[in-house]
Amino acid sequence: MTATGLSAISFHTPHRYIGLDTLAEHHGIDPDKFSKGIGQEKIALPGHDEDIVTMAAEAAKPIIDRYGSDGIDTVLFATETGIDQSKAAGIYMHRLLGLPANCRNVEFKQACYSATAALQMACSYVARKPDRKVLVIASDVARYDLDSSGEATQGAGAVAMLVTANPTVLEIGANSGVFTEDIMDFWRPNDRRTPLFDGKYSTLRYLNAMIEAWKDYSENGGHSYDAFSHFCYHLPFSRMGEKAHRHLAKANKAPIEMDKALTGMAYNRVIGNSYTASIYLAVLSTLENTYADLTGQLLGLFSYGSGATGEFFDAKVVEGYQDHLFTARHANILNERIAVSYDDYVSLWNAYPLDDGSATMPEEARGRYRLASIDENKRIYIDQHA
C-alpha cells in the first residue's frame, strides 16, 4: 500500500495579541485563573483586514514557495468560521497563491473536527493517484462574547498541510477510530456571530468521544497505548489536553507521563484556540519543540468537533522530517507579535459585522495578504507584493 501523509506543514497567526494577564486585570481576577486554570497565556487577534482567507494564504505561501504548486489538483479548506454560506473560502486563497486552474476546491465543516476529515480524504486520494498532491487548510477565528466564560479561550490561526504519497514529514496511519453522537455542547446558528455552548458538558463529551474513538481504533487494528512516544489533542485550551491525556492513560491503566503531551501545547498557550487548526498546531508544536529526534516515532492524535464527532488515529515521523519544517519562520512569527491594550482588544473584537455590507478596511495586516475592502458584500482580497 502506498504510504501517504504530510510532506510539509506550516502555520500563521496574526501579529497582535492580548495577554491574559491584561484580561484578568480588567476583570479584577487572579491571572492564575488563566495561566494555571486553563493553561493559556495569550489570545491571537486578527485585524480588520485579516480573516480565515488571509491567514490561510500566509500559512500556505511558504509551502508553495519551497515546493511549488505542480501536482496540486485539490484544495480542501476546513473551517467553522466560514465567510460565505455558498462560496468556499479556499477559492479566494486559490487566486492569491496562484494555484493551477485545473484544481478542485471545497470547504469542510464539522466544528473543530473537519480538518481531520479533509486530511483523511486527502490521504485516500493521493493513495489512488500518487502523482497528485492535496493542499489541506485549517483556518479559524475563535470568538466568544465579551465578559463570557469562553472569552479567555479565544484565538486565531491557520495551518496548511501538503499531503502527498511517500511523505517527508509524517506518514498517516491507515487505521483510525471514529465516534459520532448528536449532542448540543457547542453550536452557532446562522444568525449569530458567536457560539452558544455548555462548557462543562462539552468537556465531558470530549472525554467520552475520545475513549469511544480509542476503543474503535483499538478494535480496528490500531497500535497499543505504549507504542506512542507523544500524543496530540484538540486544544480548545491547553488544560483540556492535559485532562484528555490523563483520561486516556487511566483508561489504558498506564502511568500518566505528561511530557508525552506537553510539547504539543506550547504554541496553543500563546495563540489560543484555533478550532480546526488546533490539533495540527499541536502536531507542529510537537515536531518543532521536542528536542529529541522523533524519527520513526509514533504520534497519537485525537481530533474532536462539538456536536459531536471524534477520531483517534496515528502518524509516524519520517526520517529527515526536520529538513521540511519551518521552525525558524514560526519562531519569528511568534516573537515579533505585539501586545494590545484592553480597549484596543475590544475595538478589534467589534470589527464585524458590517451594517451596509460595504467598507474599506484599514491597512493593519503585516503579512503579504489582506482583505482590502468589502463592496456590496463582495470580499476583495489583495496581494500587497503583487
Residues classed as catalytic: 80, 112, 234
Round to whole Å and give the CA distance between 137 and 6. Answer: 12
Closest CA to 345 of 24, 44, 136: 44
H runs (alpha helix) in the chain: 20-27, 32-35, 52-67, 89-97, 114-128, 199-219, 238-251, 259-262, 266-271, 278-289, 327-335, 342-349
Other C-beta atoms closer than 10 Å to the C-beta of 340 total 18
Angle CA 86–278–78, to nearest 5: 20
Instruction: Identify the burial level of 353 via C-beta atoms within 10 angstroms of its C-beta, where 0-12 means exposed, 13-18 middle and 19 or more buried.
Output: exposed
Asked if 24 and 34 touch (Cβ cutoff 8 Å), the reply is: yes
60 CA to centre of own chain: 13
CA dist list (Å): 33 to 21, 24, 90: 10, 8, 37
Sheet holding 230-233, edge to edge: 104-108, 72-78, 133-142, 155-165, 4-12, 170-180, 309-317, 298-305, 230-233
DSSP 229: S
List of residues 6+ apart from 49 with CB closer than 8 A: 361, 362, 363, 364, 365, 370, 371, 372
Per the listing, cell 480546526 goes with 276
